[in-house]
């Protein structure tokens, strides 16, 4: 039951041992809300949603903090006379929240905005100045009011990314004329004449606003304390952002993060996603083109640390995989149940293995057990691709049980599938994904299919097998699979290819 995670700082797999086994603490760098989310933002947030869900399964409680950077150079640059920076930031924050919610990302325990922690940032800067690791800008320069971290004062600077200081590029976040070393980075930025008065706060060094890096150090300390378990973010944040966070927090005397976890980046059709290549996939566009559950599944398909290529083929494969899971669960759901269908514990049934109604030994419908192979995959640095393989093995076994008439066995497999997909957030029968089933479009499609099924039934009753075959082939060509059972014929969306195969293998001809 030991979870292993790849620690980017150690550059090795490490056994995960939380400070408090009953409360895992995670801080993840959230979005800078200067514009709307793209598919890379969704992939990053989803990676840590899975980490959170699995650690909650193993430890019970996770305190998960994901910040919002609502004051930043980019936010100010994208503001306009008609929409001030704070209004833009709030509007974009809502867009991120909608996109995250759409693909089933759990809301964080706390989601602090940078502008709400200015006093904590100033306090941290003061500690750094007192310790001799930060200084005010040189007098007589355009950087008046700036405060910088002195990288040469901290011998451990570069430890996260294993770089030597002299090999690093200069920090381009402030006027270099105010710095002792071009690699020093800004902790506080003095107010500039061309910036709005609303984007400045009083400080011991004059009015101004925080630098980007100090924000996360202050917010993680405020909400999780000076030491916490996991710091996460995208691989592109390792340097300079996370390197600078680590330096300023530890230089101020805080132990800071015990594990560093980074998710891989996204490519589009084999190319790095880039504004200059005009190949950004916006979250809003993806959600308009694909089922949100399919998006979630597609973004889980690659290991979280690997590069993920976004393509039509990937979404098609995810759609087919989701359909296989859904079709199996719906087949089982139509059968009489030997126990309560929901894999969720009924109200009043405790999770404790010693509780009166729990069934830990049998792995019953309300136990928290998952197949050992699934758990082993997830414990091994969140091996979601391998865990999904276990899910589909269970689906195949369940379908075989159904075909063999083993109804009880099929139900047991279905419960295992729901437990596993529930942890991953891809259970097709979860209320989040089924809430649109009663839409006008779904009702209209059902009415059309039911009419064709009635016509097929009439043809079969008249032993007009040719007509029955034609109707079934027409239904299959539309991507609809039919299943004949003792209680009637049921249909489901299964893709044109699988539907056509069903028509060939299950001809009405006699």
pTM: 0.82
234 shares its domain with 303: no
Is the Cα dihedral 459, 461, 463, 469 positive or negative? positive
In this prediction, residue 343 carries a pLDDT of: 43
Specify if 271 maps to a domain: no
458 shares its domain with 429: no
Q: Please give the structure tokens belonging to residue 184.
A: 């020093």
In this prediction, residue 442 carries a pLDDT of: 63
User: 152 Cβ partners below 8 Å, 6+ apart?
Assistant: 165, 180, 181
In this prediction, residue 171 carries a pLDDT of: 93
CA 403 – CA 396 distance, rounded (Å): 11
In this prediction, residue 258 carries a pLDDT of: 98
258 shares its domain with 185: yes
Classified as helix, coil or strand, 263 is: strand
Nearest 5°: the CA angle 382, 383, 388 is 120
226 shares its domain with 259: yes
Specify if 277 maps to a domain: no
* pLDDT per 10-residue tile (average), the chain, 510 residues: 94 97 97 95 97 96 97 95 96 97 97 98 98 87 87 97 93 88 96 94 96 97 98 96 98 98 91 70 94 97 94 95 97 78 44 35 57 97 98 98 93 95 96 67 72 82 84 85 73 50 37
Among candidate residues 377, 408, 434, the one where a domain is terminated:
434
Q: At what angle do helices 243-251 and 212-224 cross, to 10 degrees?
A: 60
Q: What is the DSSP letter of 22?
A: T
Burial of 49 (0-12, 13-18, 19+ CB in 10 A): buried
In this prediction, residue 268 carries a pLDDT of: 87
Report how many domains make up the chain: 3
In this prediction, residue 292 carries a pLDDT of: 97
CB 42, CB 295: distance < 8 Å: yes
CATH of the domain at 335: 1.20.120.640
Specify if 381 maps to a domain: yes
448 shares its domain with 424: no
213 shares its domain with 186: yes
CATH of the domain at 51: 3.40.50.620
In this prediction, residue 103 carries a pLDDT of: 98
Q: Please give the structure tokens belonging to residue 488.
A: 């009637």
Which domain covers residue 170, as residue numbers?
Answer: 4-263
In this prediction, residue 340 carries a pLDDT of: 55
Q: What is the DSSP letter of 303?
A: -
């Amino acid at each position: 039951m030991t979870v292993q995670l790849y620690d980017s700082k150690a550059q090795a797999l490490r056994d995960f041992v939380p400070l408090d086994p009953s409360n895992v603490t995670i801080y993840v760098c959230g979005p800078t809300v200067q514009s709307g989310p793209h598919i890379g933002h969704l992939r990053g947030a989803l990676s840590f949603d899975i980490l959170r869900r699995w650690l909650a399964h193993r430890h019970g409680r996770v305190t998960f903090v994901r910040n919002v950077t609502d004051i930043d150079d980019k936010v100010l640059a994208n503001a306009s006379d008609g929409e001030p920076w704070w209004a833009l930031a709030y509007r974009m924050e809502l867009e991120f929240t909608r996109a995250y919610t759409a693909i089933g990302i759990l809301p964080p325990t706390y989601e602090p905005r940078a502008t709400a922690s200015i006093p904590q940032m100033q306090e941290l800067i003061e500690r750094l100045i007192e310790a001799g690791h930060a200084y005010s800008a040189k007098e007589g320069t355009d950087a008046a009011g700036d405060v910088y971290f002195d990288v040469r004062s901290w011998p451990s600077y570069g430890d996260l990314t294993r770089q030597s200081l002299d090999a690093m590029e200069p920090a381009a976040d402030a006027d270099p004329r105010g710095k002792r070393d071009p690699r020093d980075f800004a902790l506080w930025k003095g107010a500039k004449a061309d910036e709005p008065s609303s984007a400045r706060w009083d400080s011991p060094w004059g009015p101004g606003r925080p630098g980007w890096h100090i924000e996360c150090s202050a917010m993680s300390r405020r909400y999780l304390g000076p030491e916490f378990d996991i710091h996460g973010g995208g691989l592109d944040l390792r340097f300079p952002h996370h390197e600078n966070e680590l330096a300023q927090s530890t230089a101020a005397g805080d132990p800071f993060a015990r594990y560093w976890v980074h998710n891989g980046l996204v490519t589009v059709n084999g190319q790095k996603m880039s504004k200059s290549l005009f190949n950004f996939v916006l979250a809003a566009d993806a959600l308009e083109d694909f089922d949100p559950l399919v998006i979630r599944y597609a973004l889980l398909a690659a290991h979280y640390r690997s590069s993920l290529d976004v393509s039509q083929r990937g979404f098609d494969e995810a759609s087919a995989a989701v359909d296989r899971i859904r079709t199996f669960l719906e087949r089982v759901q139509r059968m009489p149940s030997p126990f309560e269908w929901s894999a969720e514990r009924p109200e009043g049934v405790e999770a404790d293995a010693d509780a009166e109604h729990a069934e830990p030994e049998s792995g019953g419908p309300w136990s928290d057990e998952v197949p050992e192979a699934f758990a082993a995959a997830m414990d091994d640095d969140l091996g979601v691709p391998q865990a999904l393989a276990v899910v589909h093995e269970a689906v195949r076994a369940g379908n075989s049980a159904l075909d063999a008439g083993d109804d009880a066995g099929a139900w047991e497999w279905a419960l295992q599938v729901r437990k596993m997909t529930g942890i991953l957030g891809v259970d097709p029968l979860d209320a989040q994904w089924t809430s649109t089933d009663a839409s006008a479009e779904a009702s209209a499609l059902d009415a059309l299919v039911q009419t064709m099924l009635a016509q097929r039934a009439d043809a079969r009753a008249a032993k007009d097998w040719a007509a029955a075959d034609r109707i079934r082939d027409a239904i299959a060509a539309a991507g609809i699979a039919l299943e004949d059972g003792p209680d009637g014929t049921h249909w489901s969306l299964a893709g044109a290819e699988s539907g056509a195969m069903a028509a060939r293998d299950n001809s009405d001809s006699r």
